[in-house]
Structure 1
């Protein structure tokens, strides 16, 4: 797999290629050093806004204004912004066109690489992020096409991994998985191929596992209420009514068969 360094000349797309931050105030609060003067007294130029501490100023007050200025401007003493970018980089969500000489493709590459580093994304998700940052369409298309060519964007692999992970971790059925993939911009053919990888018997077994897990919290309820709650849980995870009621009936029958001997030994009535 190629990295960001393989996608352009050295230094291209780095934080300093993204344009400049807008001018922001760095000094402390106006008139801090003029405390104690009359209202009509004019401040000397050396004691006006942004002036540094004087020699006879208490040590605890020195640098206080500069620290407030750093917090206001968002740049710390190390010269970096809280998000880890240098002052030459753009603020989060800033338009890609900000700054003279900004290369739109360099901005698009940096945005895509940052998002892909955090989590896998579909091409549609990346395209939407570039649109929100006002990257020109031509530059966005060129970068997305290049990322697809080198394998950094692969909707088919994304869909297959999504189905496997979400079914195993959340117990989602085909219908719910397909809806989630469509919401992330995966095309219909890719969605169909991905969900068909889920074996029907595996889907039914997952439904049984979900019902068994929920069963103990429904004991003591009216049978109709119990069935309705279990069916609602499966429906929220994308299971159709036919499969849901079949699985619920099987699990309830097994549960009754397991609890009947205990009820007989305890002397409780069975009906």
Structure 2
């Protein structure tokens, strides 16, 4: 079973109370992992929960802190930076897809330390360089910059980090 999908038993029966069913769906979803309000709205809509019931329950879940887009965005950014090495640009796109408001995403992404972002880029380049030992320097540079671009790093930062790391790599191989 995928971690995204709870069991299909969503509680709908002929005489089921839509609010009880919606509450069960929300709690099931939130027990799997944190989700944005829009993700939960979409899930409830797919399960045929009336929109007014969904809105009322989601508002209540926000009041008690079970649904918090800012906390969700912070956790998402931290996790994706750690696991995938993504830069702010890529993270902004992912947060938008998750339904996080642009203002919330901007506020959370403003907390990302540029120094940490550069360090993450360097780590990605160093890791990838280990598998590129025999390649021409221009080919390696092009591939490394492309990798960083796909992860959302700006061209300026990508080129600077790659040039620096390729220079350090050249110094290491000349010293051997």
Q: TM-score, normalised by structure 2?
A: 0.92
Count the aligned residue pairs: 170
Unaligned ranges ≥5, structure 2:
1-6
**Inter-partner Cα distance in structure 1 for 2:143 and 2:102:** 32
Report the CA distance between 1:261 and its aligned residue: 2.1
* Distance in 2 separating the partners of 1:185 and 1:95: 26
- Give the secondary-structure state (helix, strand or coil) at the position aligned to 1:212: helix
Distance 2:9 2:51 in 1: 17
Q: Distance in 1 between matches of 2:154 and 2:34?
A: 29
Q: Secondary structure at the match of 1:131?
A: helix
Name the CA shift for 1:162/1:168 in 2 (closer, same or farther; >3 Å).
same
Alignment of 1:253-264 (within 5 A): 253-262=167-176
More helix by share: 2
**RMSD after superposition:** 1.5
- What pairs up with 1:5-154 in 2 under 5 angstroms? 92=8, 96=12, 98-100=13-15, 102-154=16-68
For residues 152-231 of structure 1, what are the structure 2 equivalents within 5 Å?
152-231=66-145
Structure 1: unaligned runs, 5 residues or longer: 1-90, 263-271
Which of 120, 126, 146 aligns to 1:232? It is 146
8 Å CA contact 2:44, 2:54 repeated in 1 = yes
Compute the displacement of 1:247 (Å): 0.2
TM-score (norm 1): 0.60
Specify whether residues 169 and 208 from structure 1 end up closer, same or farther in structure 2 by C-alpha distance, changes over 3 A only: same
Partner of 2:4: none
Give the distance between the partners of 2:88 and 2:156, measured in 1 at CA.
14
Alignment partners' CA distance in 2, 1:163 and 1:188 = 14
Using the alignment, how far apart are the partners of 1:113 and 1:95 within structure 2?
Answer: 12
Distance 2:9 2:20 in 1: 16
Query: d(CA) in 2 for partners of 1:226 and 1:249?
Result: 10
Larger Rg: 1
Deviation at residue 94 of structure 1 after TM alignment: 6.5
